[in-house]
Chain A
């Protein structure tokens, strides 16, 4: 057996010592086949060697990881020690940037809630990205878990079982309307007080999930299936992109926009912030419920 250094061992670990065989596309339920026969008998010493490398590697790896971890921890602790004290006056972060947000935020954006003003007006481009991060995550999960052979809409056995639980159904029947209503309140009130699209949407999504747990997916499916999901996301995200594109375009070219801050404190004020909050909230609620549904049963 030849001697190998740490790097070789690390590399060997990376090699294909474990054969995960291809699942052919389209037939996901077929059992994993044994490894294809491109590995001839003469490869056996290699595999023995690999097992030895693996053992040696698993001995040395924890030690190296511990050393690296200690060094990193020490470095980061020194960094934290050197940071400006948290919450003290006159820290560098307390400069002209938050000063203007707090002083002029309400007049410039029309939002009483400064946070809403910052995320949906001053730094709206970041939030445009953030709402698409959620959409990206949902699509990635769809790619991974969506099973395309769901022609038979059989009632899940768990579904039936859950529905018999009296405590769950009664509590859910009482709570779900309140939760969803509260979510809508937080959503619509985002520019006036604490709240906004992300938090309101999360509350609504939680309410939908609770409903699905208590009463099963079949009833929700009449309203929320993959098709309506796509339409809702399409409308909300396209509205967000197009309206913000208009507003960025006007801002960059010094044009006048048709959106005005309005009277701060009114429900219909703060220009684009309220509609954008609704769009973000819808996307967040859909994403939360969609992720739950995909993980639970492989489809929306």
Chain B
């Protein structure tokens, strides 16, 4: 066993220690610690990914001296380190790119607390990606929930306080339903570790006993995690949460925290329920319906929104709908498309929030109507916004095109849902194009009055780094998507 397999353990413990240490450090030092932590986790995850690809096998890592079903364990193959690497990179870039607004939005003495929370979110994401134990997942879901609330409400304006209360309520309902599902599963199987649970659930499904409890546990866990990630009927916390948080938090919450829950749900589907049981239970059809409606409703809401931040947040609701639609289509191609879209969204949504914040600064307003000509005042932010908007619409050479293509390909695997899926895809592409292009065109209009002062550079340097990296990631992964898809495919086989 190579030494690199110890990485997830060290990463979790390091994140927890850093979060505790950050609470006694000055804000600047806490920020540097947090950024180096993100870099370290990204490098470690990349090494682990390389190890996974080279050996082509998954690793079960004991957390202590006792194997399953007695002690805690971690499990990781190819997908887990890949997602971990992406999450750490995106989080670091969000903290970098949102630095200017962080220093404006936060009270002076509270900067360190922000980094305490961001380190805790990272630790929770690592565990959600790697755990082999359902209950450990629940514990770190709790950490993730509370610390995301902290990231949100640290900008103390009335709207964010209200938004974080709403987010907290929805999120806690989600955790409660998840916990209820875990308890039901424990009552009928007596296990909490994923391999044992899968075995026991498979046996129960074959024998046909405890049918109702099994169905209810599957639906409670799925609905709980769907609420937390913001699937359609439960997406009403999104616009305020993402729209009014400080841009770095908006990026972190929409780009990676909700994806952490979705990836955890995928792992639960594959490693606890088993695809056989899950896709025959009918829950996947419900997910399909809500995902498809969510795409359309989210896009229409975004279309009606004048506030650009809230528009982007509604667009997130639509993207979450895509991911759930992919998951429910089929366990192979559909999930592959969903995974690719998780990456697309993680690389696209945070820079949209960050560049919108920059553009709102130069135009002095959050409303789309006031953004006429803002693109001439901050060219880089406008470029980032445009490229990410193209990616969300699905224009070729960006990641968004590849994920839409994969969704369409997945639809052909499920003939009965082919027509509705394609209709939803086409409709949402039109709507996406409509509301995003409207903003992009406004950005590059000749400015109404040329006397508006150019924004002072401020922290433009770090923002530029983060924006350029995001643009590169979007275009590189969009042009050379095939290796990434192959990697995801190999990882899916190991899940």
Contact = CB atoms under 8 A, between A and B. Distances in A.
A132 B71 CA distance: 19
B212 interface: yes
Interface stretch (B104-112, B347-355, B467-475): B104-112
Given A124-B63, A133-B146, A234-B21, A241 B113 contact: no
Contacts of A23: 156-158
A251 interface: yes
B279 interface: no
Interface string A87-98: 000011111111
A238 to B, nearest CB: 6
Give 7 closest A-B pairs by Cβ, nearest first.
Answer: A20-B158, A129-B139, A125-B72, A251-B65, A93-B190, A22-B157, A79-B216
A116 to B, nearest CB: 15
14 contacts: A25-B156, A75-B216, A83-B188, A91-B187, A93-B190, A97-B70, A128-B16, A136-B120, A143-B113, A248-B62, A249-B6, A249-B9, A251-B64, A251-B71
Contacts of B69: 96-97
A7 B297 contact: yes
A122 B71 contact: yes
B365 interface: yes
Most buried by A among B21, B65, B147, B157: B65
B139 to A, nearest CB: 4
Contact of B9 (A78, A137, A245): A245
Given A97-B70, A139-B150, A148-B107, A242 B13 contact: yes
B190 A123 contact: no
B139 A79 contact: no
A248 B72 CA distance: 10
Contacts of B216: 75-76, 78-79
A233 interface: yes
A49 interface: no
A287 interface: no
A229 to B, nearest CB: 9
B70 A234 contact: no
Interface string B1-41: 10000100110010011011101100000000000000000
B64 A238 contact: no
A135 B20 contact: yes
B184 A234 contact: no
A158 interface: no
Given A93-B190, A234-B20, 4 more contacts: A22-B158, A82-B211, A143-B117, A238-B21
B140 interface: yes
Interface string B87-108: 0000000000000000011111
B150 A28 contact: no
Given A20-B159, A133-B139, A133-B143, A122 B108 contact: no
A91 B210 CA distance: 12
A136 B146 contact: yes
A223 interface: no
B491 interface: no
Most buried by B among A10, A82, A84: A82
B17 A241 contact: yes
Given A14-B236, A97-B190, A139-B117, A252 B153 contact: no
A234 B20 CA distance: 6
Contact of B149 (A122, A132, A140, A241): A140
B322 to A, nearest CB: 19
Most buried by B among A14, A108, A124, A242: A14
Contact of B188 (A10, A92, A96, A143): A92
A22 B236 contact: no
B64 A124 contact: yes
A282 interface: no
B301 interface: yes
Nearest to A13: B236
Interface string B287-328: 000000000010001000000000000000000000000000
Given A92-B189, A101-B70, A136-B120, A25 B105 contact: yes
B219 to A, nearest CB: 8
A100 interface: yes
Contact of A130 (B139, B155, B189): B139
A32 interface: yes
What's the dominant secondary structure at chain B's contact region? helix
A60 B301 CA distance: 21
Interface in B118-147: 120, 123, 127, 133, 135-136, 139-140, 142-143, 146-147
A135 B197 CA distance: 31
Contact of B63 (A92, A94, A248): A248
Given A238-B21, A251-B64, A95 B190 contact: yes
A26 B9 CA distance: 39
Contact of A248 (B9, B162, B211, B301): B9
A121 B64 CA distance: 8
Contacts of B106: 25
A253 B1 contact: yes
B239 interface: yes
Nearest to B204: A92
A247 B64 contact: yes
Given A14-B239, A126-B135, A142-B113, A241 B213 contact: no
A76 B183 CA distance: 13
Interface string A30-47: 001000001000000000
Contacts of A233: 20, 23
A251 B60 CA distance: 13
A39 to B, nearest CB: 11
Contacts of A100: 70
B213 A83 contact: yes
B154 interface: yes
A231 interface: yes
Contacts of B188: 83-84, 92
Most buried by A among B64, B71, B149, B239: B64
B71 A97 contact: no
A108 to B, nearest CB: 8
Interface in B58-93: 61-66, 69-72
B146 A140 contact: yes
Contacts of B136: 125-126, 129
B6 A253 contact: yes
Given A96-B69, A129-B143, A84 B158 contact: no
A167 interface: no
A176 interface: no
A213 B230 CA distance: 42
B110 A143 contact: yes
Contacts of A10: 236
B191 interface: yes
A25 B106 CA distance: 7
Interface string A215-241: 000000000000000110110011001
